[in-house]
A and B are shown apart, each in its own frame.
Chain A
Amino acid sequence: MNPFAMLIAFTTILIKEVTRFTRIWQQTLVPPAISTLLYFVIFGSLIGDRIGQMDGFDYMDFLVPGLILMSVINASYQNVVSSFFGAKWGKSIEELLVSPTPNLIILLAYISGGVTRGILVGLIVTGISLVFTDLNVFSLWVLGSVVILTAVLFSLGGFVNAIFAKTFDDVAIVPTFVLLPLTYLGGVFYSIHLLSDFWQNVSKANPILYMVNTFRYGFLGISDVSIGFSYLMICGFIAVFFVISLYLLSHSRGLRA
């Protein structure tokens, strides 16, 4: 396949992915908007006023970056896992697998679909947050890069989950039992400085903590962790998941006997 043909294959898959999640916007774009709105109302406006300040900022200002990134994580993960597993379950993935489209292009296109939905949901949530607070941007470059890298990483996570999943229950297990606890304990709602030394160290084993803090740094200029180390860690995870995904695409028994 020549590069132009690969580009056509890539855009075909990407357009198909974007068409899919925008066609069912009531299931893909509205729920994160509603749940984040509730988070803002309850934790930000109602309870947040009583909490006061966190790391020197109003609780609402502290909360917003974490909630935006949480919605990006969930949206990018859910997009790839549901789309790829759905195609695998309905066997329509064979349309792609029998074609000469290289595995690399298939993977990049699915990641791009997840990133597109993640960013779109992130923008919607950011728009909602503007109703509750004024957002100050400390570093646009950090914000943009972290949101894209995080969406890439969790799109890859969704891809691996989809390849291993045999039933729709398997698709729900990771978001419920892994993603949700890691996100909630990843510094979205609090600074890890509130924790004892032991739990601070435990928290530092949670990769989502680094993403949330780096993203918050892009808004507020503060972070519980080293920004450089965060980038290194996110890129490291991306590299590992990327290689695993490519290998599974070629060899997984879930796709090829």
Chain B
Amino acid sequence: MSYALKTTGLAKTYHNGVNALKGLDLSVQEGDFYALLGPNGAGKSTVIGILSSLVLKSSGRVEVFGVDIDNDFPKAKSFLGVVPQEFNFNIFETPLQIIRNQAGYYGIDRRTASERTEKYLRLLQIWDKRNDRAGHLSGGMKRRLMIARALVHEPRLLILDEPTAGVDIEIRRSMWEFLRNINSAGTTIILTTHYLEEAENLCRHIGIINHGELVENTSMRALLRQLNLETYVLDIENTLDTLPTEWADFARLVDASTLEVDVRSGQHLNDIYDALSKASIRVRSMRNKANRLEQLFVGMVGKAPGDKP
């Protein structure tokens, strides 16, 4: 099996004594769409910082497509495209200048750089703004500009650190579509996000970091199978004052027309619907009370991904 990224015993202690990573062993298969999750301060950004050379590791080994960063970091970097959490482009430059310059830093000739700049600015729907100052773009456009910049050298591994933070739902979904497409075309993607719905929708494998250690590293499907109980919220047409007493262990009334129903692993939704039908309760709509991944995540690290450490 070939790995896009493999870290062995990766550790980082900052000069203020904080142990951000404590011997992290992480491997991401080539072609994967991998979610790297963890609460704030867990060490995700430190991993990304080490990969992009903005953070110097204290010890351990990092290989990108088999290239050890201690042996040939420039080559390892040429495989990587990084979309950081914070905007880090010159706000006085235009998207055209930013993307072309980035291509230049990777040694791409001017003609190819111009072609790719147009290609990615069009794909990310900011071509019309190519001559505007980057500082004048909206938040969503700035995020897409950073994705275009990370792609201009056509990296084999794309790392996205919360790429959809502060982006409206329409643009977020178009970005998901875009990311799915480039992953299908062969680019390995590592995604960190606080939107667990995003991770659940996009990623095939998942790693959860907490306190600088990997507490889970498995496939999304296997992880979700660990859920013992899912709670659904039902909007019903009837109005109810009380529920049948035999429902007490799996259903609760939120208000007169809203029910919460627990479905345990091995139980089928049909059983619930049968019981509802027998009680002449008609369901108008149904949704998960919480994102499934979020339920698992909170169970593993004891807090939601956006919570402060």
Report yes or no: A100 in contact with B78, Cβ–Cβ below 8 A. Answer: yes
- A5's partner among B55, B90, B91, B107 (CB-CB below 8 A) is B107
CA distance A92 to B109 in the complex (A): 21
User: Which of the segments A69-77, A170-178, A180-188, A249-257 contacts the partner chain?
Assistant: A249-257
Question: In the bound complex, how far is the Cα of B149 from the Cα of A31, in angstroms?
Answer: 35
Task: Give A20 Cβ to nearest chain B Cβ, in Å.
Answer: 8
Query: B56 contacts A99, CB within 8 Å?
Result: no
The interface residues of chain A lying within 8 Å CB-to-CB of B149 are 95
B54 within 8 A of A: yes
User: Bound complex: CA of A96 vs CA of B149, how far in Å?
Assistant: 12
User: A87-B90, A99-B77, A100-B75 are known contacts. Are A12 and B104 too (CB-CB below 8 A)?
Assistant: yes
The residue in A2, A11, A95, A102 that gathers the most chain B C-beta atoms within 10 A of its C-beta is A95
Interface flag for A56 (CB, 8 Å): no
Residue A4 at the chain B interface, CB threshold 8 Å:
yes
**What is the chain B residue whose CB lies nearest that of A106?**
B105
A9/B86 contact (C-beta < 8 A), A90-B91, A98-B52, A98-B80 known: no
CB atoms of A100 and B106 under 8 A apart: yes
- Which of the four size classes fits the interface of chain B? 35 or more
Expressed in whole angstroms, the Cα–Cα distance for A253 and B102 within the complex equals 23
- Residues on the A chain within 8 Å of B80, using CB: 98
Chain A, 3-44, CB within 8 A of any chain B CB: 4-6, 8-9, 11-13, 16
Residues of the A chain whose Cβ atoms lie less than 8 Å from the Cβ of B84: 94
Please tell me if the beta carbons of A98 and B107 are within 8 angstroms of each other in the complex.
Answer: no
Do residues A92 and B106 form an inter-chain contact, with CB atoms below 8 A?
no
A1-B107 contact in complex given A94-B84, A95-B89, A257-B49, C-beta closer than 8 Å: yes
Which of chain A's residues has its CB closest to B49's CB? A257
CB-contacts of A79-127 with B (<8 A): 87, 90-92, 94-102
Closest to A10 in B: B104
Which size bracket describes the interface of A in this complex?
A: 20 to 34
Within 8 Å CB of A96, what residues of B? 105
B132 CB to nearest A CB, Å = 16
Contact partner of A257 (CB less than 8 A), chosen from B14, B73, B89, B107, is: B14
Which residues of B are found within 8 Å of A257, using beta-carbon distances? 14, 49, 54-56
A-B contact pairs, 14 of them (CB 8 A): A2-B107, A8-B109, A90-B88, A91-B88, A94-B88, A95-B102, A95-B105, A95-B149, A97-B52, A98-B52, A98-B77, A99-B77, A100-B75, A101-B105
Residues of chain A at the chain B interface (Cβ within 8 Å): 1-2, 4-6, 8-9, 11-13, 16, 87, 90-92, 94-102, 251, 253, 255-257
Chain B residues in the interface with A (C-beta under 8 A): 14-15, 49, 52-56, 73-75, 77-78, 80, 82, 84, 86-91, 97-98, 100-102, 104-110, 149
Taking A92-B89, A257-B54 as known contacts, 12 extra A-B pairs with beta carbons closer than 8 A to each other, sorted by chain A number, are: A8-B107, A9-B104, A12-B104, A90-B90, A91-B87, A91-B88, A94-B84, A95-B89, A98-B82, A99-B77, A256-B54, A257-B49
